[in-house]
Structure 1
């Protein structure tokens, strides 16, 4: 087929100007976009194009007539070259505005490097104060328990001197109920506490059996109004039937089925988890604390 039969006037003019002296890649870089516009997205017939390239003298880098594979690769590389040229042109055109934007971001960057903001500092200080308060309360509780044990040991001994009072006290510890009982202060009015009861169960929940009772000491941080039967037993699996973590039924923590509302359950969980030192909290306990705090925020 003659060159004039292709029907692309721009390509014919370019070919007439170079008279076959131009390489295939240079021609593609000069005419690729025009050919694509004229062909309007239709598929290129590379067999016909390679025959035309041979007729007009367009060759590859080795001076040979290009094959279909060679022509396609050259076409692809020409497209990448043109795209890179456009990107460089855009970058050069946008250079001044980009420099101005970079200068505008210098101040925030320097501020970020200078340290945390006042709000972040206050939040860190509040968290540190809360952690110290919890540790102090825990130390005071332990000290109170030790004082109660010593008082009980002295009252049980009476006026009789024991040959080994320390060993006797260690071998016969005071009962747990007595050891953990608050110290009596004369004239002190007791706090009025109304123990919470199991929430009513409706529908299918009524037929679900309650978990076994909790057996063990009253955990630290447990609200006074909460009975022990609100806790899951220590040997509970803490998992749902499909194997996922069941945050609403963790061992030794309040079970969701005891409460009528999510907020009440979250309110009971938070102090019990916070009573555990931060370094001793497992990932599951941290996840429970996050869930409970989120419920308190969204439900207030």
Structure 2
């Protein structure tokens, strides 16, 4: 066998050389569409065509020269075959297009699903952060309320102790006025007469934090100083601070000789008497 016919060209030559391979049907399948396009819808002259088929050596499937009837039947069958072939090609193309559309839709659906999952994950993360912030705020509020309750409890206890101390003092039977004592204090300008009122020696000195029975407020600037007017004779602490501050400055020209308690009271007195140095 020659080398030139070993490839696909050899196979084509073998098919074309077989019985009926170059038959009328093969020619019609190859040239039918082109002939119809050129002839542009005019009626075919089958007598003339069959003469040309005979001269060209085109035969039917059994190797005979085609008659007009045979040529027409072959032409009709070739049309059906070509139409079926075009339909198969169209169906295959439509199926391929549908498959491509389905793949595209699947990719878009997968992307939309991923996007929706990402949005949902972001929303979930935001809700979790908001829940954490709300929990932290609630915890802080709870701690603040607990601390407020604890401070209130301490204040109630201190108040109860002050009331108990006041009650204890009120239970002391006062002395006879004839037993009252008057402090030996210098008479100074600016010191009110309350500083020189006699006091009951049975009553204990007023302490810092005790309740002023006249105002209901606690005394803030220390307790009674020995040798100085008692707070019992005063309604307002600023009046007591002014009198005691003047007496302190008269007795101590400088703070260096004062006791710590006297220095504390002097600091409060200076807020009432700006020129008290």
Choose 1 or 2 for highest CA Rg.
Answer: 2
Q: Is the structural similarity TM-score above 0.5?
A: no
Query: Could you tell me the TM-score, scaled by structure 2's length?
Result: 0.29
Query: Could you tell me the TM-score, scaled by structure 1's length?
Result: 0.26
